[in-house]
Amino acid sequence: TGVQTCALPIYRNREALDPLKRALAMNLKSTEAMRAFMDCIGRLGLWAEGLTALDAALLVSPDDAEIHCGRGLMLHSLKRYEEAYAALDRSVALAPNRTPVLAEVLRIRLHDCYWKDDGALARLQNNIAAGDFIEPLRAMELIHEPDLQLASTRAYTARVFSVQTPLWRGQAYRHERIRVAYLSADFCFHVVATVLVDLIERHDQSAFEVHALSFGPDDRSAMRGRLERAFDTFTDVSK
């Protein structure tokens, strides 16, 4: 109960950290506490502190694949690459068919061009074909078969999001201009913004009404200001 409560909302990570530490200390074998702690550590960028906690957890559960995977991610963030690869490979050896572990390990391998043919990708694909899932953007990154991407995304959506009553009831309506909304976490000094801003500015203002919903940071950069001016409306929904 404490883990779920203290971890939210996600933008109060600094406040959440100490309660999560206590929850983890009370039960180093708690997968829920470990995942919440790692998520909080990741958002705060406290990799060394997270690694210390995972080392302690590993003394209690030396064969826990998710702890080894978490250590690998922390070590990778600390640029201790050889140690990171060893920890990630160990996590796959301990849990060769666990989907979250496979996805994280394959992500790092792809990012670093660390090629190792141990069948991890094939097993991940088999898991998804059997009904398991990974986060949608991760599926696009790791899997090249459109049918498997779609299957994973459908399974993810069904599990993560509750069924909502549609706001649109089928009524027809028209506007003077076509209304288009762009949703992004990257309306700041970011590569996505760099390649997108010219497109936004080139919308035919007589035919389109363009809106932004920003759920990322306001870095107060020149790019942020340029984007805010490019849209008809710019709404910060990050909180």
- Residues lower than pLDDT 50 in the chain: 1-10
Q: Find tokens 């640029």 and name the residue.
A: 79
pLDDT (0 to 100) of residue 163: 74
Mark 129-157 as b/e (b = at least 16 C-beta within 10 Å).
eeebbbebebbebbbeeeebbebbbebbe
pLDDT (0 to 100) of residue 181: 97
